[in-house]
């Protein structure tokens, strides 16, 4: 039984106290790079204004035991997803355009076909880098017994690592400055955990850069056009240079289509730049770090796919490779819930470290019930490929029956793609049976009731005054980690470090910060 009453959070503030915290929080954010670019399109070549990121005024309560559990699990997940990315046969079966999701999802199919062709030609770089984030929510189905349930696992462009570190520092500052006016005995400095996400991500990139073996090479950040979340990326860039003297070049797919070349013979990836920036007029790339490339809208022409494949066939280490991006799909998450699949990847001595039954049970306990819309009665047999006339698959039928407790997910990242609860039956009515394989159904997580916070969002231009709004909220914890691994089946190095807490109004189904649903938050660890 919990000793902490979530329904009493956050403590009440007087108008003066709220105004004081809001002023201190916003000025701290501007002074410490807790920022976004405003939504002005197109963005100017150099930023000339900024808005603070959406933030909470209080840290949010989270059981210390489950926080430590999530950190411990990350080391297992680092290895698990590295091994999935190295298992070409498994990925071909589940995600391929011949037998898997790629048959019915054009975006996945395009990536897989390009990857298959590159494999046939011969990939020259055996190493891959993964920068991961495993996202969880508290699950409280009854009697206030909390458990940790995974929302998803991110293998590409796992964002907000840097800004999450900044917001945890903000809350420590507010506590040190005001002690939050003594409104809660739970607010103590030893309950606000350190957050080292920036150095963790930089360490992973630096380890891959070192493995590449050319100290003078640069790391390439592949970014979106008109990127608003640029400060989250810049903090990593600054850390790489300050601690490792590693330089970064930032380019979009559009720019790389013109500037990127792969040398014959050496397979070096070279990116051209202005001669007055680099005397040679180009830089050699050690690591390709994708902060874009995860949604179809970023591949608007065939040239964008060709550019992705050009980078993939180079000697540079990719973060992630196409294989690792495919491994992070929702379909893989669903397949991992099936019997024997975790054991396939975590119990094979030939792959390296073997994990015990307790570790596997603990990981499996974080899974919600999931299934593909194409499944048959035995859960493992797809039956949507040739359904009887007018007959639904078992997966679709089950989704209709349980719709009010479900979310449907496609193979997409970035928020705004899912279908929830009441909207599910109508969506299923319109879903082409051939597309069932591209969707999974997932039981909704039940978070604690009555939790609140003060949410502070900026104006779209930075000129609009905003005040913190008290709201009932749901929080999602992300744990960061990285892994450097090769095609020989072995993980060279991996680490866990840093975390992200995103908090949204309870009325919102989606949870992205960049898409405007959530705010950046930090942890208040409680004994639960």
Catalytic residue from among 33, 352, 376, 414: 414
CA 463 to chain centre: 31
Q: Which residues pair with 130 in a beta bridge?
A: 483
CA distance 156 to 178: 39
CA 152 to chain centre: 8
- Which of these, 475, 483, 427, lies nearest to 452 by C-alpha position? 475
CA distance 494 to 312: 22
Catalytic residue from among 154, 329, 518, 522: 154
Q: Which residues pair with 409 in a beta bridge?
A: 440
Q: Which residues are annotated as a binding site for substrate?
A: 133, 156-159, 227-229, 233, 291-294, 502, 513-514
Catalytic residue from among 502, 511, 518, 522: 502
Is residue 385 annotated as part of the catalytic site, yes or no?
A: no
Sort strands 218-222 and 282-290 into parallel, antiparallel or unpaired: parallel
Q: Which residues are annotated as a binding site for ATP?
A: 152, 330, 409-418, 420, 442-445, 476, 504, 510
Catalytic residue from among 56, 140, 152, 308: 152
Q: Scan for tokens 């696992």, then name that residue.
A: 153
Q: Which residues have CB under 8 Å from 332's CB, separation 6+?
A: 84, 94, 95, 326
Is residue 453 annotated as part of the catalytic site, yes or no?
A: no
Structure tokens that stand for 301 in this block: 């022409």
Catalytic residue from among 166, 268, 330, 398: 330
Is residue 239 annotated as part of the catalytic site, yes or no?
A: no
Q: Scan for tokens 């490792």, then name that residue.
A: 244
Catalytic residue from among 56, 78, 82, 159: 159
Residue 438 contacts residue 384 (beta carbons within 8 Å)? no
Is residue 414 annotated as part of the catalytic site, yes or no?
A: yes
CA distance 195 to 172: 11
Angle of helix 106-121 versus helix 88-95 axis, rounded to 10: 150
Is residue 133 annotated as part of the catalytic site, yes or no?
A: yes
Is residue 152 annotated as part of the catalytic site, yes or no?
A: yes
> Residue 100, preceding bond cis, omega within 30 degrees?
no
Q: Where are the beta strands (DSSP E) in 175-247?
A: 218-222
Q: Scan for tokens 């992070």, then name that residue.
A: 328
Is residue 409 annotated as part of the catalytic site, yes or no?
A: yes
Residue 50 contacts residue 36 (beta carbons within 8 Å)? yes
Is residue 502 annotated as part of the catalytic site, yes or no?
A: yes
Q: Where are the beta strands (DSSP E) in 117-156?
A: 127-139, 147-154
CA distance 266 to 177: 56
DSSP H or E stretch at residue 454: strand 452-456
CA distance 249 to 245: 13
Q: Which residues have CB under 8 Å from 288's CB, separation 6+?
A: 220, 222, 269, 311, 314, 316, 317, 318, 319
Q: Which residues pair with 51 in a beta bridge?
A: 36
Residues present in the chain in total: 528
> Residue 97, preceding bond cis, omega within 30 degrees?
no
Would you name the residues annotated as active-site residues?
Answer: 133, 152, 154, 159, 330, 409, 413-414, 502
């Amino acid at each position: 039984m919990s000793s902490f009453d979530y329904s009493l959070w956050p403590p009440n503030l007087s108008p003066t106290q709220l105004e004081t915290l809001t002023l201190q929080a916003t000025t701290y954010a501007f002074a410490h790079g807790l920022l976004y670019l405003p939504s002005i399109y197109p963005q100017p070549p150099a930023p000339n204004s900024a808005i603070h990121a959406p933030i909470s005024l209080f840290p949010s309560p989270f059981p210390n035991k489950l926080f430590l559990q999530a950190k411990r699990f990350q080391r297992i997940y680092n290895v698990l997803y590295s091994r999935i990315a190295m298992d070409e046969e498994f990925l071909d079966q589940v995600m391929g355009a011949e037998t898997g999701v790629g048959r019915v999802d054009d975006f996945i199919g395009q990536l897989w076909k390009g990857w298959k062709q590159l494999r046939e030609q011969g990939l020259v770089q055996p190493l891959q880098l993964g920068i991961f984030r495993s996202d969880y929510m508290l699950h409280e189905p009854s009697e206030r017994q909390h458990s940790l349930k995974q929302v998803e696992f991110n293998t590409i462009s796992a964002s907000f690592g840097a800004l999450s570190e900044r917001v945890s520092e903000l809350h420590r500052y507010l506590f040190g400055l005001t002690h939050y006016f003594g409104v809660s005995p739970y607010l103590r400095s030893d309950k606000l955990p350190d957050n080292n996400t920036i150095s963790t991500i930089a360490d992973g990139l630096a380890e891959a850069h070192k493995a590449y073996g050319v100290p003078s090479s640069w790391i390439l950040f592949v970014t979106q056009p008109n990127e608003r979340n640029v400060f989250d990326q810049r903090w990593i860039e600054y850390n790489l240079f300050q601690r490792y003297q590693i330089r970064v070049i930032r380019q979009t797919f559009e720019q790389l289509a013109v500037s990127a070349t792969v040398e014959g013979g050496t397979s070096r990836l070279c990116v051209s730049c202005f001669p007055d920036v680099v005397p040679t007029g180009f830089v050699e790339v050690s690591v390709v770090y994708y902060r874009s490339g995860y949604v179809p809208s970023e591949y608007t022409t065939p040239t964008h796919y060709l550019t992705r494949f050009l980078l993939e066939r180079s000697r540079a280490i990719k973060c992630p490779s196409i294989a690792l991006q495919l491994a992070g799909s929702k379909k893989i998450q669903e397949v991992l819930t099936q019997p024997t699949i975790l054991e396939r990847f975590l119990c094979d001595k030939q792959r390296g470290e073997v994990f015990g039954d307790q570790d596997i049970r603990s990981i499996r306990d974080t899974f919600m019930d999931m299934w593909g819309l194409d499944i048959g009665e035995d859960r493992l047999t797809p039956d949507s490929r040739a359904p009887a006339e007018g007959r639904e698959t078992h997966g679709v039928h089950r989704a209709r029956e349980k719709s009010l407790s479900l979310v449907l997910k496609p193979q997409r990242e970035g928020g705004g793609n899912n279908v929830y609860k009441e909207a599910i039956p109508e969506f299923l009515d319109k879903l082409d049976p051939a597309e069932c394989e591209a969707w999974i159904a997932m039981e909704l997580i039940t978070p604690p009731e009555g939790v609140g916070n003060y949410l502070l969002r900026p104006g779209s231009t930075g000129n609009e005054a905003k005040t913190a709004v008290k709201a009932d909220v749901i929080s999602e914890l992300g744990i960061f980690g990285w892994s450097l691994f090769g095609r020989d089946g072995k993980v060279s190095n991996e680490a866990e470090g840093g975390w992200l807490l995103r908090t949204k109004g309870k009325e919102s189904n989606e949870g992205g910060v960049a898409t405007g649903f959530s705010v950046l938050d930090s942890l208040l660890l409680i004994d639960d």
